Structure 1
Amino acid sequence: MLAVRHLTKTYADGHLAVNNLSLEIQAGDIFGFIGHNGAGKTTTLRSIIGALHFEIGEILINGDSIKTQAVKCKKQMAYLPDNPDLYDYLTGIQYLNFIADMYGVPLDIRQKRIQDFSDRLSLTANLGNLISSYSHGMKQKLALISAFIHQPKLLLLDEPFVGLDPEATYIVKKMMIELCEKGSAIFFSTHILEVAENLCNKIGLIDNGELKLVGLTDDVRGGKSLEEVFLEVVGHE
């Protein structure tokens, strides 16, 4: 579903943000991408979705190049940044219908999904309100629903659990598992090691732009906790 091959990204100021990074994600995988702030997680995510130009390497989405077939790739993806920008003067339901329109989700299917996801995340009663009236947690829930609404083949999330209460976190994890059971794949960054350890079947540890460890979660852990492995491999100030 996702193949990143020798990705290298250097910014204009000369900072090497990602260095020769390669990984693969198959349908059904939930891949946890872990590292300190500034390690290269967001740069990698934004390169995958085609928002950042990269000088070296190749990124394939379901076999298609993000460089040469960007629109085809983006139709198969959804991306949720760590601080999503929503349209404050739309209502929640207007925003979800706007996203569904962009991805061509039929009316009957979108209505069913919106009802299901908003009920589960306790947002239904607020969908008629302007997004500007939403709390941070409500905006995060709305953004998550918008990411799931077209059942993307590849879902990319940057710190998706920030701002969510424990109940909502549990529900979103269930939604992620259900999506992957339908044949999709998820790639997400997180600082919450316990979530990654319990949710992900694959893990990648990145430090200073370099992928230090990647593989099946049990193989990466090697009998230790993920916290212990993280501190051994990339644990520094």
Structure 2
Amino acid sequence: MIEIKQATKNFAGKAAVKDLDLTVPDGKIFGFLGPNGAGKSTTIKMMTGILPLDAGSISMNGVDISTDPMKAKHQFGYVPDRSDIFLRLKGMEYLNFFGDVFDVPPNVRKEKIEYLTKSFDIYEALNDQIHTYSHGMRQKIVVSGVLLHDPDVWILDEPLTGLDPKSSYTLKEMMREHAAKGKTVFFSTHVLEVVEQLCDEVAIINKGHVQFRGSMKEMKQQFQEDNNLEKLFLELTQNE
């Protein structure tokens, strides 16, 4: 579970996120949407400890990210929206680095690496340096590294970007399986059709405030029953 209470972040005296309250329950795929500059990326960076909060609190499974950051970071896996990191490492070196950071036992690590990289069709490229990978392959190795220690909470920022249809389907199935185990998937994306098909609940943020939070059914009932997510998203954000 993710609990965000009165989270606030200012840049140059201006609030990027203001008094944000949001609870992401276990057993759900939770979609997080917002136009450019809405505060979506700032919120995710506060959730993961990349940015400090100016006020409020954020906890992962009851562990506060500000007061106990190391323990909190063991609760989640984070896929950023950029995959151009550690490019000089070989794929296997990158995955072993994550295994060392999160104390994944060698036997478990070997099994998980094989399962994840074969699922994403990059197993044969693990001895190549990541800078030789295509964008899609880089995204796959990042996702594999994040999921290696089997965190309870997944925080995925545009994770499907650059993935081929087969790998995209594989990751979506993994997300469904993770939520079915009673764990948490927090999923940020600009692909509204994916949200409509995949997410149990959604939140729409704009100008640092949550404009809507609820199920797809509740969103459609609040507006017009025949509206699709794209129309609802535009209706919620166009006048802000």
With the length of structure 1 as denominator, give the TM-score of the two structures: 0.95
Match of 2:13 in 1: 14
Other structure's SS at 1:18 match: strand
> Tell me, which stretches of 5 or more residues in structure 2 are unaligned?
none
Output the amino acid matched with 1:32.
Answer: G
Kept in 2: contact 1:10–1:17 (CA 8 A): yes
Map 1:198-237 to 2 at 5 A.
198-222=197-221, 223=225, 224-235=227-238
Output the amino acid matched with 1:193.
Answer: L
Kept in 1: contact 2:4–2:20 (CA 8 A): yes
Match of 1:78 in 2: 77
Match of 2:47 in 1: 48
Query: Per-residue CA shift, 1:75-118, capped at 9, x if unaligned?
Result: 11111111134212211011111101111111121211111111
Match of 2:29 in 1: 30
Kept in 1: contact 2:92–2:127 (CA 8 A): yes
d(CA) in 1 for partners of 2:54 and 2:8? 6
Kept in 1: contact 2:81–2:158 (CA 8 A): yes
With the length of structure 2 as denominator, give the TM-score of the two structures: 0.94
Other structure's SS at 2:49 match: coil
d(CA) in 2 for partners of 1:164 and 1:14? 38
> Tell me, which stretches of 5 or more residues in structure 1 are unaligned?
none
Query: Per-residue CA shift, 1:161-220, capped at 9, x if unaligned?
Result: 111122211111011112222332111210001111111101000111110000122212
Output the amino acid matched with 1:5.
Answer: K
Other structure's SS at 1:213 match: strand
Kept in 2: contact 1:21–1:210 (CA 8 A): yes
Give aligned pairs, total: 236
Output the amino acid matched with 1:25.
Answer: V
Kept in 2: contact 1:151–1:179 (CA 8 A): no
d(CA) in 1 for partners of 2:83 and 2:117? 18
> Cα offset for 1:236?
6.3
Match of 1:154 in 2: 153
> Cα offset for 1:221?
2.7
d(CA) in 2 for partners of 1:234 and 1:165? 30
Other structure's SS at 1:173 match: helix
Query: Per-residue CA shift, 1:30-59, capped at 9, x if unaligned?
Result: 111001111111100010111111122111
Match of 2:107 in 1: 108
Kept in 2: contact 1:202–1:217 (CA 8 A): yes
Query: Per-residue CA shift, 1:121-161, capped at 9, x if unaligned?
Result: 11111111111111111000100111111111111111111
Output the amino acid matched with 1:34.
Answer: L
- Shifted more, 92-101 versus 172-181: the winner is 172-181
> Cα offset for 1:62?
0.7
Other structure's SS at 2:144 match: helix
Kept in 1: contact 2:84–2:138 (CA 8 A): no
Match of 1:63 in 2: 62
d(CA) in 2 for partners of 1:34 and 1:176? 17
Match of 1:135 in 2: 134
Other structure's SS at 1:117 match: helix
Which runs of 4 or more aligned residues in structure 1 lie more than 3 Å from their structure 2 counterparts after TM superposition? none
d(CA) in 2 for partners of 1:235 and 1:161? 26
